[in-house]
Amino acid sequence: MSSYDYPVGIVGAGAWGTALAAVMADIHGKALLWARDPSLVAAINAAHENADYLPAIPLPASIMASNDMDDLARCAILLIVTPAQHLRHFLTNMPDIRSPLLLCCKGIEAGTGALMVDIAREVRPVNPVAILSGPTFAHEVAARKPAAMTLACEHEALGEQLAQAVAAPYFRPYWTDDVIGAEIGGAVKNVLAIGCGVVDGAGLGLNARASLIARGFAEMQRYGIARGARPETLAGLSGLGDLVLTCSSENSRNFSLGKGLGQGQSAADLLNGRRTVAEGAATAPVLLASAQALGADMPIVAAVCRLLDGSADVNEVIKALLSRPLKAER
Ligand SMILES: NC(=O)c1ccc[n+]([C@@H]2O[C@H](COP(=O)([O-])OP(=O)(O)OC[C@H]3O[C@@H](n4cnc5c(N)ncnc54)[C@H](O)[C@@H]3O)[C@@H](O)[C@H]2O)c1
Ligand SMILES: O=P(O)(O)OC[C@H](O)CO
């Protein structure tokens, strides 16, 4: 890997891509950050701050922002941090680069039900692929507060190598070969975080939120196991860990979207003109369709879908959830 100019390049200068660029610059002394928008690239290089997506956080001057895709060939490893629904478009247009791709977006592709790793394998069959996912709010990582996460790669030796390449004293990846488990945890928790935001916005209390986290985790396990995930991965950092984080804080864009729904605002109004991504909104309907096809019961995800598409209001979905027949806790 020494023939490359940059040990790590980062694609996507949203909050998370920018925070990861800061971590990589700490570790390797430099990092390349690719963004679509030339004015954002110029602003980052001039001010060493991403005022659009990660304001008031000073960035290392050793981050070089670029909007030239050919620069990506100068990077030994690429962290891909586009929104999940734009991953296919980016990978389709990326030049012929053979570096390992460490996918950092969380979601399921609308229209196909594909996981991020499925998209990467289909569009870039030559590149080794791995997943980085876990409880990691960008602003905390950018402030160098400690965090641990899952790094999933089918080839364990490469997974370990990638983990060594992205680890910092305050940034601690644990590797696994369960790529599906890591992906499903990150995708499903976003939808459940919308549900927890609804509980908060509607003033339903902390008991209700804890119940939703626990029953939501049961849905994550049911769906994940039906898709081939391992239970221990779902109970780990990328599953339960990230579920607890995003279901507990208004810093989560998914939680805050749900909070607005719980206060009676429409999804269209809340999503309209929004600059930052709330991945759960796009993932929820495709997750529900996929769960139904697999015979995995996901009533909380179904309730979130009804609130997002406007087919029911908060009172109706709460009543529907609580009036389901009593059952054994399995
Ligand atoms: N923010 C976090 O704390 C965090 C942490 C872990 C994982 N993630 C995941 O990282 C991914 C990116 O989230 P973020 O928080 O960095 O985004 P963000 O909401 O901060 O910014 C949106 C990003 O999407 C880009 N974008 C918008 N439309 C695009 C398009 N058509 N093609 C390519 N890029 C486009 C924008 O340029 C910008 O970089 C998401 O999947 C998210 O779930 C975020
Ligand atoms: O702001 P959210 O809801 O997209 O969550 C950000 C990260 O996924 C937290 O791990």
Q: Is 242 annotated as a binding residue?
A: yes
- For ligand 2, atom 4, which residue shows the shortest CA distance? 253
- For ligand 1, atom 44, which residue shows the shortest CA distance? 16
Strand-pairing partners, residue 180, are none
CATH number of 180-322: 1.10.1040.10
Task: Compute mean pLDDT per 10 residues along the chain, 330 residues long, and list them.
Answer: 88 98 98 98 98 98 98 98 98 97 98 98 98 98 98 97 98 98 98 98 98 98 98 98 98 98 96 92 98 98 98 96 92
Structure tokens at 63: 């981050």
pLDDT for 1 equals 46
Alpha helices in 87-239 (DSSP H): 87-93, 116-123, 138-142, 156-166, 179-201, 206-226, 231-234
- For ligand 1, atom 29, which residue shows the shortest CA distance? 86
ipTM over 0.90: yes
Q: Is 138 annotated as a binding residue?
A: yes
Q: How far is the CA of 5 from the centre of ligand 2 (A)?
A: 31
Q: Which of 145, 189, 319, 327 is catalytic?
A: 189
Q: How far is the CA of 4 from the centre of ligand 2 (A)?
A: 31
pLDDT for 90 equals 98
The domains of the chain are located at: 6-177, 180-322
Q: How far is the CA of 84 from the centre of ligand 1 (A)?
A: 8
CA-to-CA distance for 138 and 207, rounded, in angstroms? 28
What pTM was computed for the model? 0.97
Q: How far is the CA of 157 from the centre of ligand 2 (A)?
A: 28
CA-to-CA distance for 138 and 233, rounded, in angstroms? 22
Best of 54, 137, 188 for a ligand 2 pocket test (most atoms within 8 Å of beta carbon): 137
Phi-psi region of 182 (alpha: psi -120 to 50; beta: other; left: phi over 0): alpha
State the fold for domain 6-177. Answer: Rossmann fold (3.40.50)
Tell me, yes or no, if 189 is annotated catalytic: yes
Q: Which of 65, 79, 93 is closest to 10 using CA atoms?
A: 79
